[in-house]
Amino acid sequence: MATITLKGNSIETCGTLPAKSSQAPDFKLVKTDLSEVTLADYKGKKIVLNIFPSIDTPVCAASVRCFNKAAGELANTVVLCVSADLPFAHTRFCETDGLKNVESLSVFRSPAFGKDYGVTIATGPIAGLLSRAIVIIDTNGQVAYTEQVPEITQEPNYDAAMAALK
């Protein structure tokens, strides 16, 4: 388990992020059109997993906007924004903000994702949602970078994540 905080109060995740240089765990997540996508669908691309509790919070929204801007400048890279939100919430947010360089994915049919990546929050008032984390997967499907954000209300280290993509 990882211990993180929510407004200074300790909460725990169900595990830890995958180890650097390990094979990224497979996943099956739901796209905004309700179809399913797996890790294999992105074979040969660099993948940014921008994982967060809910698109309807200011920090989560900021991370999606930031990665949307950064993704537009990177070749052979896809940013997957993953949360427990329903695909309809992701669609509403991205359409309202005009975001086209990120893919929004939901775990609502796939609780295994949170367990496999160690990001399901296990304790506290938001138990069941995903913690704020970044996982970068290289073109060979191996974990190149991870960040478990220590405080849910703070943004990830965008510079470190972007440096890992170069």
Please state, as a whole number, how many other Cβ atoms lie within 10 Å of the Cβ of residue 39: 18
Label residue 59 exposed, middle or buried (CB < 10 Å: 0-12, 13-18, 19+): middle
Q: How far is CA 5 from the centre of its chain?
A: 18
Q: 106, 90 in Cβ contact below 8 A?
A: yes
Active site (annotated) includes residue 14: no
Q: 132, 60 in Cβ contact below 8 A?
A: yes
Q: Out of 14, 60, 81, 94, which one is annotated catalytic?
A: 60
Residues assigned a catalytic role: 60
